[in-house]
Structure 1
Amino acid sequence: MNLLLLICGGSIGAISRYLVGLAIMKRYSNPPFPVAMLIVNLIGSFGLGAFFGINYQLIPLGAYNDPLYLSIGIGFFGAFTTFSTFSVEAFQLYNNKLWKKLILYVTLSIFGSILTFLIGLNLGVYFY
């Protein structure tokens, strides 16, 4: 049953990431750096924080048997956000010696994701 929950949540998350990424790339056809994945990861970090805040009021430890956590927390948001694509895009900037864009992209991605997660978590707790 746990694997089925992960499959369902992960499938929806991956499809959502793809569609949101396409929509962003359509709107920003020639961005200065990989803005689509940055926005997707910021949205996903905020959403995961809000999910935790609303449902658990904190970051749950050992919730791997909770169906809601498995399907949404791990499945959906795990597939919606992506560290691997971030790594590829950061490497492409590095490989092309686009140092300022690389530093901006990495900084915004890492610190922005942490910040949006914390905002989502606190808003979720507040509205709980």
Structure 2
Amino acid sequence: MGKEMENLNILFVFFGGAFGALLRFEVSQLWNGKTPFPLGTFLANITGGILLGMLIKFYEGTGFSESIWLLSATGFCGGYTTYSTFSFEVFQLLKQRKWKEALLYLSTSILMTIFTIWLIFQL
């Protein structure tokens, strides 16, 4: 891969990540704080998992360019999903001794994301 293509790929990841992070911010602003459950982060992780599952299935089935993959999967999904925020929120719930909420949030986030990706591969 030439230096120009490598630089272009970096831009694809950068712009995809920026757009994903902005959308995650909007989802969090819209939903977090309405309940004790961090719904915005949960929704971003689940919908991001769904999108990534669809991208993987499409990429494996028909394929598309590496640039599109870097823009959409690596960039957008990487910026949109929020593992570090998710981990911090679980920690905060545990610190506040909200055991049920922490367990519910942790288990449903992981299981729902895995389930939705599995479901997409069944289609």
Tell me: CA distance 1:9–1:49, structure 2 relative to 1, closer, same or farther (3 Å): same
Match of residue 17 from structure 1: 24
* 1:38 matches 2:42: yes
- Is it true that 1:81 corresponds to 2:85 in the alignment? no
TM-score (norm 2): 0.84
2:58 counterpart (28, 40, 54): 54
Q: Is the 8 A contact 1:57 1:121 kept in 2?
A: no
Counterpart amino acid of residue 55 in structure 1: Y
Instruction: Return closer, same or farther for 1:122/1:71 CA change in 2, 3 Å cut-off.
Output: farther
8 Å Cα contact 2:20-2:75 kept in structure 1: yes
Distance (Å, rounded) in 2 between the aligned partners of 1:48 and 1:121: 11
1:118 aligns with 2:118: yes
- Is the contact made by 2:14 and 2:75 (CA closer than 8 Å) also made in structure 1? yes
Partner of 1:96: 96
- Greater RCO (Cα-Cα under 8 Å, separation 6 or more): 1
- Cα deviation, 1:14-37, whole Å, max 9, x if unaligned, reads 111111222223xxx431311110
Q: Residue 72 of structure 1 corresponds to which residue in structure 2? A: 72
1:50 and 1:121 map into 2 onto residues whose CA distance is: 8
TM-score (norm 1): 0.81
- Residue 116 of structure 1: CA displacement? 1.5
User: What's the RMSD between the two structures over aligned residues?
Assistant: 2.1
Partner of 1:126: none
For structure 2, the 5+ residue unaligned runs are 1-7
Choose 1 or 2 for highest CA Rg.
2
Structure 1: give runs of 5+ residues left out of the alignment. Answer: 124-128
Q: Distance in 2 between matches of 1:12 and 1:99?
A: 34
Letter in 1 for 2:24: R
Encode CA deviations 1:37-95: one digit per residue, 9 max, x unaligned. Answer: 0111000000110112123239x9xx9x8111111110000100010000110000000
